[in-house]
Structure 1
Amino acid sequence: MLLHLISFNIPYPANYGGVMDVFYKIKALHGQGVAVTLHAFQYGREAAPELEKYCSQVYYYNRPTSLFQQFSSLPFIVKTRDAKLLLQNLKKDNAPILFEGLHTCYFLNHADLKNRKKYIRMHNVEWQYYAHLAKMESNILKKIYFKIESKKLQVFEREIKNVNGLLAISKNDTEYFLEKYPHISTRFIPAFHPNEKVESQAGSGAYILFHGDLSVKDNEEAAFFLLEKIMQGVDYQLVIAGLNPSEKLKTKVEGLKNVSLKANVSNKEMNSLIKNAHVNIL
């Protein structure tokens, strides 16, 4: 079986939630004999030869993120993934297409793809997610951006009406799409991940681990909540590990004796941290 998979970013290294789901999904499909043609938008990450082990072909596309892209009725996360070369490559055969999130759906209803089987992996109810980001954000310009993007995403979501199926990552999202789009086949498929067996060590670990993409406002706020509301008076060490922590978070951690911050760790180091933690906080 052949399958086109369009990823919002390069899914390797698989070191945060979104790309982790994509990468381990590709591995699972490869293990089932599916020949995956991967289309990945490139920004902030290098091309990854590791992906060629599990994909029959890998294409990379530039994602322009200039402010000019904001002057569109389309959501920014969609408009910045409008690579014409992507459409040309999708037209090379008639294989089904899996779109990873609304982000990758610019060509979803293009006339040249009218007769193709199309599925969307829903990582969030995106307009709700961006509305939540707007509430959490203190920077006024970012807050305005998130509010506008939420409204655009709510409108753009209607474009999914003719897809063959939705693959929701959470039960709450599954219920939302089943209720709003009852004519679309929607299934709950939990996040793909590398943990096929229990590898935690016997006995007690020496620390509590919180890990995630720390550049995401939700995750940063969760880290601050742990520091300010949970760790006060707790003797255990807390390790916060993840991508691109802010200066604000770094400064907060510096003054705490029982907290350490590990930024941009490798997959190997992250797996070791998870394995040896006494408590993992997700």
Structure 2
Amino acid sequence: MLKTLQALKILFLTHRVPFPQNGGYPIVVCNTIRGLVSLGHEVSLVALNAKKTHHQHNDDDKDLLSKIKYRAFDININVSVFDVAVNLFSKTSFNIDRYYDVGFERLLIAELKKTNYDIIQFEGLLVSLYMTAVRKNSKAKLIYRLHNVESQIWHRLAQQKSDPFKKSYLKMHAKRIKNYELQQLNNFDAIAVFTAQDKSTLLEYGTKIPIQVLHLGINLDHYKPDFSKTEFPSLFFLGSLDWLPNREGIEWFLENFKQELTEGDLRVKFYVAGNDIPERFDDYEVMGKIFIQGEVDDALEFVNSKSIMIVPLLSGGGMRVKIVEGMAMQKCIISTSLGAEGINFRNGEDILIANDQDEFYEAIKRCIADEEYCKSVGLKARKLIEAEHDVNKVTQKLVEFYQKMI
């Protein structure tokens, strides 16, 4: 076990319970905590439980929970039609406001009075609602880890809409969320981002505090591809569809490629898996050709069983965990430039970039016809992840960043 000179007391605040680790946000949070624990730091996690779910923990979860202090707090984030209507006349966005709970704030204050933390890490914008209370009750350095520039997501979503009302509505929320971001950013002590693009955006926003680019880190020991179990050719998408950019992207892909996959030249099976897939997606299913699978028991087993990963992301930002995981599993990946943001890829070498329907078509056609090419792309992708996304290297850099702040 690696040790640093000074063992730190670190508190993580999350807007959702990061168990099970079945999506980008929980994977990032838990990988970071594991890395810090392995370096000898004392870590606590306080999470909002917006879905009020209480899962059975698997062995990996139990192992991590045995090494940290953990508390989850149930919170109701549901909003009524009346709440949405009232919010139209507000200056803030209910998408943020609904994550404030006075009971959670009291719990947090009690925790801060009990323990003198060195670092408090806010995992995303939604928990920044509690920053004022944290400042008043702790001398810790406050680090904001930016998973996405939230206003940018809403702005890009608005750009994709043709309906004037929807476009206007999304633009309104983008503006309100940006105003909130601008108010909050410089109130932290420092910010950690995953991509240089996000750092540039924050600098354009007038951020004056230190910003550190730290790549997303994964435990490479967990990613062991077995090509004897891989179906070639096969296309797949894996992602949580409660995140709007994922849902929008996969809908775009299905609308544009359903006919090509079922009746055209792209003779390949397509599998869609992930959490919170709306029932209407069942309409896209075509027996023996397009499979809407929903949540899978073992995400890495699912990834291993398929050969070509698609990431048709049209909005959003930050770094996509599923791409990093797919690369670690030596998958041949076809993604938009936006989806691959923050990864030091070489187009055509360790990933294929496709930004419109024609480019996706050509990339898919090339990949399904050449298994050796796909394997070559996947092998180079794995080497890239080994060089730049090893969680041990990334976490060590995070600790150095913490210690500079202290």
Alpha carbons of 1:184 and 1:8: their partners in 2 closer, same or farther (altered >3 Å)?
Answer: same
Contact kept, 8 Å, 2:284 with 2:292, in 1: the verdict is no
Alignment check: 8 A CA contact 2:116 2:138 kept = no
What is the TM-score normalised by the length of structure 1? Answer: 0.85
Question: Structure 2: which 5+ residue stretches go unaligned?
Answer: 1-7, 312-406
Which of 21, 28, 39 pairs up with 1:21?
28
Counterpart residue type for residue 119 of structure 1: I
Deviation (angstroms), 1:175: 1.8
Give per-residue Cα distances to partners, 1:109-148, cap 9 Å, x unaligned: 3451474310111011111111223344578887665333
Question: Whole-Å Cα distance in 1 between the matches of residues 28 and 48 of structure 2?
Answer: 16
Q: How does 1:42-61 map to 2 (within 5 A)?
A: 42-48=49-55, 50=61, 52-61=65-74
2:196 aligned partner: 171
- Structure 1 residues 60 and 36, CA gap change in structure 2 (3 angstroms): farther
> How do 1:1-282 residues align onto structure 2 when only pairs under 5 Å count?
1-48=8-55, 50=61, 52-67=65-80, 68=83, 71=87, 73-83=91-101, 84-85=105-106, 86-95=108-117, 96-110=119-133, 112-113=136-137, 115-136=139-160, 146-158=170-182, 159-181=184-206, 183-196=208-221, 198-202=223-227, 205-206=231-232, 207-227=234-254, 228-229=256-257, 231=261, 232-253=264-285, 255=286, 257-266=288-297, 268=298, 270-282=299-311
Normalising by structure 2, what TM-score? 0.61
Q: Deviations over 1:161-211 (max 9, x none)?
A: 131211112221122123434521111122344544652223663322211
> Aligned in 2, Cα 1:246/1:28: closer, same or farther, shift over 3 Å?
same
Alignment check: 8 A CA contact 1:178 1:184 kept: no
- SS of residue in 1 equivalent to 2:172: helix
Flag structure 1 segments of 5+ consecutive residues without an equivalent: none
Alpha-carbon distance in structure 2 between the residues aligned to 1:73 and 1:114: 29
Structure with more strand by fraction: 1
Amino acid of the structure 2 residue aligned with 1:101: G
**Gap change, CA 1:280 and 1:21, over 3 Å in 2:** same
CA distance in 1, matches of 2:288, 2:144: 45
What one-letter code is carried by the residue in structure 1 that aligns with 2:38?
Answer: G
Distance 1:30 1:181, change over 3 A: farther
Please give the alpha-carbon distance, in whole angstroms, between the structure 1 residues aligned to 2:145 and 2:282.
34
Secondary structure at the residue paired with 2:227? Answer: coil
* Secondary structure of 1:15 counterpart: coil
Equivalences, count: 279
Do the aligned residues in 2 keep the contact of 1:214 with 1:220 (CA within 8 Å)? yes
Judging by fraction of residues, say which structure has more helix: 2
Cα 1:172–1:198 change in 2 (3 A) is same
| Superposition RMSD in Å | 2.8
Structure 1 stretches (4+) deviating beyond 6 angstroms?
138-142
Contact kept in structure 2, 1:99 and 1:119, CA below 8 Å: yes
Identity of aligned residues (%): 20
> What is the alpha-carbon distance in structure 1 between the residues aligned to residue 164 and residue 38 of structure 2?
46
